[in-house]
């Protein structure tokens, strides 16, 4: 299947679809919805964790900036 290039303008005809399915089944590749769902959930989870880490970093940077600003703008009067 790696020798076939797909574009957004091309569509699978019945014969190409049958050939792809025959090739994938003859190579021992199993078509599993659970495997695909697991990969999708894993991708969503890693994206969410990356976003959460980013938000923690932004919050820490804002807190540091506020602390520095408070130190320099405090007046004695």
pLDDT tens figures, 8-62:
555 667 777 788 778 777 776 666 778 778 889 999 999 999 999 999 999 999 9
Query: Quick check: 65 pLDDT over 80?
Result: yes
> Based on the structure, what is the number of domains in the chain?
1
Q: 13 in a domain, yes or no? A: no
Query: What pLDDT was estimated at residue 36?
Result: 79
Give residue 73's domain range: 31-77
Q: Both tokens of residue 58?
A: 């932004």
Q: Does some domain include residue 18?
A: no
Residue 5 maps to a domain: no
Query: Which of 27, 33, 36 lies closest to 2, judged by CA?
Result: 27
- Whether 1 maps to a domain, the answer reads no
C-alpha distance from residue 50 to each of 3, 36, 59, 64 (Å): 34, 21, 14, 21
Q: Decide if 63 is inside a domain.
A: yes
Q: What is the pLDDT of residue 51?
A: 97
Give the Cα separation of 24 and 28 in Å (integer). Answer: 7
The answer to whether residue 24 is domain-embedded is no
Q: Please give the structure tokens belonging to residue 53.
A: 């880490």
């Amino acid at each position: 299947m790696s020798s076939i290039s797909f574009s957004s303008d091309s569509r699978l005809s019945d014969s190409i679809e049958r050939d792809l399915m025959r090739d994938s089944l003859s190579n021992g590749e199993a078509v599993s919805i659970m495997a695909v769902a697991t990969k999708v959930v894993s991708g969503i989870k890693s994206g969410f964790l990356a976003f959460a880490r980013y938000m923690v970093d932004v919050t820490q940077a804002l807190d540091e900036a506020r602390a520095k600003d408070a130190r320099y703008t405090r007046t004695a009067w």
